[in-house]
Amino acid sequence: MAAVVGRRICRLGGAPCRLERTAHSAGRLARDGAAWVAVFSTTAVWLAAVILSCSDALAAEPLSQDDYAVVTAICKPGDGEAAWASIPWEIDLWQARRRAAKEGKPIVLWEMDGHPLGCT
């Protein structure tokens, strides 16, 4: 069960998601010492419910406006994480070559598989 619960996206505030609460309820029923048949029936119903909810379980929880604000804030680069972007990079080698000739400077080319200013 834990693995299934772990695939859910819990709300950013840390509140348990729906599937996690369902699992806890089932666990309490078993611990109450009900007859084996009753436990089996309960478990079967519970398992069926889990299976039926699996497709739903693979749908991430909708985002709230608060979630949106938090996600946006922590996803984008923070202070000091984008110092490399302060370099006045050209993105056109020929243009850089013309500029270097005009200004009498050498060129530094950062060439990667996947553009250094995009891609990864």
23 forms part of the interface with other proteins (CB under 8 A): no
Task: Give me the count of residues in the chain.
Answer: 120
Q: Applying CB under 8 A, does 13 fall inside the site for other proteins?
A: yes
Does 2 help bind other proteins (rule: CB under 8 A)? no
> End-to-end alpha-carbon separation of the chain, Å?
35
Sorted by sequence, the CB contacts under 8 Å of residue 97 that are 6+ apart come out as 107
Q: Nearest 5 degrees, angle CA 37-CA 42-CA 44?
A: 95
Q: Among residues 30, 44, 52, 101, which is the contact residue for other proteins, using CB under 8 A?
A: 101
Minimum CB separation of residue 50 from other proteins in Å reads 13
32 vs 81 by CB, closer to other proteins: 81
Contacts to other proteins by CB under 8 A: 6-7, 9-10, 12-15, 54, 58-65, 67-68, 70-72, 74-78, 80-120
